Structure 1
Amino acid sequence: MIADYDWAGGTEAMLRFGPDTGPVMVAILPLFEEANRTRTFAVRLLRLLAGRGIAGVLPDIPGQSESMVPLESLTLLRMSEAIEGLVDQFASAGRRAYGIGIRSGALLDTLALLDGRWHFAPMAGNELLRELHRIWRAADPDRHKGDIQAMAFGSDGPVEIAGNLIGSDLLAGLIAAEPFDQSGIPRRIVRLDSDPRPADRHLPGTPLWRRSEPDDDPALAGLLADDIASWIAQCEA
């Protein structure tokens, strides 16, 4: 079902799945072009959770998906405020909310008063910045010696990277950005077997964000849905 949510900057659309009661999972897609590679997968995951009796939403983040807010006008803080507003909406309705942060989406739940965070292959802001830098350099051979500072602060206006116009304030905000990690608030990290970094669990699957075109991995989505359902049951106990 298509619905909407309010935040300080206006109103954005979201997809809703599952029951209208009980805890709700807020799925946050990766920033910029990766969302096109993971949106189908996220929808499948939320549908599987709905089949397990767990509600979920997939919000449009300001500047992303179908949002009408110009990306070049945004900062990481403003995008995070949108998730904060969405979570507040559920809290006002008496519903607990948990985050599903996918890749760099895990950088956007830092302000929201979530009851817990489940992060899939989370990445730090400086990792994303390095990836954007590689894309920026590959688009123009004359940039082969340009460093990250040249990309982020080399012009007065926004920088075009993979079709996205990104302001320098947003790029600068990525330098020190880290996924939320505070004691006392549940957080679970799941990564793919191909990722050697620490995690609560490693699973076999396809790194969809490396594909040249949008794709899906139903088997992985099933494994993740089972993991989330088990984790939510523990958090709610």
Structure 2
Amino acid sequence: MNISFSIIIDGFEGDMERQARCKVELKPWHFWSKKGQKQQEEEGNHQVDVYWDLRSAKFTGNSPEPCSDYYLALVSDEEVVLLLGDYKKKAYKRTKKRPALVDAIQSLKKETVYAKKSFATRARFTQGRWEHDVVVESSTNGPKDPEMWISIDGIVLIHVKNLQWKFRGNETVVVNKTPIQVLWDVHAWLFCSPGTGCGLFIFKPGSPEIEMDKEGSNRTGVSDDNSSYSTFYSTQPTQTKMVDFFLLLQAWKTD
């Protein structure tokens, strides 16, 4: 009945961690709510302004993320520190603020998908490249042994047979000359009651030698909110730290 988006801002001041939250509900019977502005004041009287315009936003498939004709901007210290969407000129005109000196880089996309057998999402594995279609299909019921297929851009890259013995695993595939590590855990699909657990899939560009437990990797953990889609952006200069990207897919079976 309604669409909402939430913004969580994590920050540090000395040894103290600070967090600010902002939630905006876009009710379908209130057209004006799809365009607005909201002020969020953090500790220390530091203000963050949120601007959005989703009146003409277009969506594809069942994804909760708009694909075009929208903007969402965060303003802090007279700079647009984060700008999403393709209406960039409109966003700068409305905010009347300058672009940030350092562009934000997406480092995490988490999406929750509900389906019977096929779970689909889209992700951009490298900066500046196009998005890829990611589909996980499974057959856990029937006379045959459970199986699972993972495809990217319509090509099956991973086929797991005897899933009851291989419900956890990892493989590395190559997409457009980019190695991508794929990790999965579907124990809940096979051994838990329906609706009590989901299948977890992590897609991480890079060679297998890159460790998964480096500092900051806990951001890929499953959160306890009800959002079906979330992203994490870092504004660290790329000259000092290369930000890793993770796609975390939570697949809930509906049967």
Do they superpose with TM above 0.5? no
Greater relative CO, 1 or 2 (CA 8 Å, sep 6+):
1
Rg larger for: 2
- Output the TM-score relative to the length of structure 2: 0.28
Bigger share in strand: 2
Bigger share in helix: 1
